[in-house]
Amino acid sequence: MGSPGVVMIIQRERMTLPSNSRWRAGASFLALAGVFALSLSAPIPSLPDGDRQAVVDEVRERLPGWSVERLEQSWEGAYTVVTLCAGREMGFQFVPGHGLAANHAWIQPNDAYSRDRLRGVSDHWRHLIWYADPALMNTLSCHEEIAGSEQTSMQSRPHD
C-alpha cells in the first residue's frame, strides 16, 4: 500500500454509448425488428383444451351417426361445430354457460336447415338448449335422418 497520509485516487472510466442519435435510433429499430421477427417465428403456447373432447362427446351422444367434421374454439368458451350426415352439413355454435349452469349449453344454428333439425333435439320447448343431465334426451340419428328425408344423397345425383 502507500504511506500514511497519501490518498490513492482510483479513477473509474464510465462506459458510454456513442452519442450519435442516429446510431441509437438505428440500433433501436434493428432490435425491435429482430424481436418482431422472432415473435412471428416462435409458436404461441397454449394449454390443452379439455373441454373440446367434452363437446365432441356431447355432440356424438345427441347426434349419433353424424361425423364431427370441424370443431373450433370461437369466442368466450364457445365452439363452432360442423357435423356431416350423408353429405349434408349441419353447423351450429355450442355455447356453454352464458346465463345457464356451467354444464348446460345454448345451441345457435348457422342456418334454417340446422335450426329445423336441432329444434327436435333441444331440451327446452322454447329455446335451443342442451342440459347436462336431461330427464329425457332427444337424439337425431343420422340413419333416421336418411331414412325419413325427402331427398337422399342418391336422388341428388344425376342418372347415367
Mean pLDDT estimate for the chain: 80
Q: 157 or 14: whose pLDDT is higher?
A: 14
pLDDT, position 80:
94
Answer for the pair 80, 71: CB distance below 8 angstroms, yes or no: yes
Strand partners, 71: 81
Altogether, the residues listed in the chain come to a count of 160
Return d(Cα 148, Cα 92) in angstroms, integer. Answer: 22
Q: Average pLDDT, stretch 106-118?
A: 92
Q: What angle do CA 132, 107, 99 make, to 5 degrees?
A: 65
φ, ψ (nearest 5 deg) of residue 70: -140, 145
pLDDT at 13 over 90: no
pLDDT digits (tens, 9 = 90+) for 116-148: 999 988 888 899 989 888 888 888 899 888 877
Handedness of CA 91, 97, 98, 100 (dihedral sign): positive
| The model's pTM | 0.62
pLDDT, position 42:
76
Q: Average pLDDT, stretch 38-45?
A: 77
Domain ranges of the chain: 50-148
